[in-house]
Chain A
Amino acid sequence: ETGVTQTPRHLVMGMTNKKSLKCEQHLGHNAMYWYKQSAKKPLELMFVYNFKEQTENNSVPSRFSPECPNSSHLFLHLHTLQPEDSALYLCASSPESTVSYGYTFGSGTRLTVV
């Protein structure tokens, strides 16, 4: 257990479904991140939240909708996904101003879109 918990660990959804991924940390960190990890591709930063405010959206399609209700929780709402969205979705957190400590990652949600 790293201190960042992601649920569910595995998710299979149809292209017309709506689902949400959840990330939770109680490390006292103020920045949270969503990354996408696809086979044979580099890690792709999707969203960055700092003190609950979205500070970066890396041209992510609108079928992915993040939500950060407080500094401890981060959600990724999914709707009308495509098969190419199948990937491992990783959540991470870091102290906002102490970037030299790096990130703490969750174990990820393995998403399969059918």
Chain B
Amino acid sequence: GDSVTQMEGPVTLSEEAFLTINCTYTATGYPSLFWYVQYPGEGLQLLLKATKADDKGSNKGFEATYRKETTSFHLEKGSVQVSDSAVYFCALSGGGSNYKLTFGKGTLLTVNP
């Protein structure tokens, strides 16, 4: 079945550091890929998405490129801020499931001033 593997956390960075959170997937067909963010005490919010190979999703300085050849969708940001501290979830939909989202386990990011 479909699955998502993302790097284990926690990740701790200083403000203005470069961020990469790795995400790889296994799916049948052609899934759509997502990054969600969860701030403390809140639900999940869609951060960015990509629906086909080589698409780049971007939002709030974050970027991720849909790489079909490596089945990856790594999240990057050039300069993180304290306010980026949150849990980040990689997810896919479609593929072998009609409309179900399959999530990774989440990566906790802490950014220190």
Contact = CB atoms under 8 A, between A and B. Distances in A.
Interface in B3-48: 32, 34, 36, 42-46
A94 B99 contact: yes
Contact of B46 (A50, A102, A108): A102
B24 to A, nearest CB: 15
Contact of A103 (B94, B98, B101, B104): B101
B106 A42 contact: yes
Contacts of B98: 99
A100 B100 contact: no
A27 to B, nearest CB: 13
Contacts of A48: 100
A68 to B, nearest CB: 15
A58 B74 CA distance: 29
Contact of B91 (A6, A50, A56, A102): A102
Contacts of A102: 32, 34, 36, 46, 49, 91, 93, 101
8 contacts: A6-B43, A43-B106, A92-B101, A94-B101, A100-B51, A100-B93, A102-B101, A104-B46
A90 interface: yes
B105 interface: yes
Interface in B80-113: 89, 91, 93-94, 98-101, 103-106
A9 to B, nearest CB: 9
Contact of B42 (A99, A101, A108): A108
A56 B101 CA distance: 13
A90 B100 contact: no
Contacts of B101: 92, 94, 102-103
A99 B99 contact: yes
A81 interface: no
Contacts of B100: 45, 48, 56
Given A48-B100, A90-B44, A99-B32, A43 B89 contact: yes
Contacts of B45: 2, 105
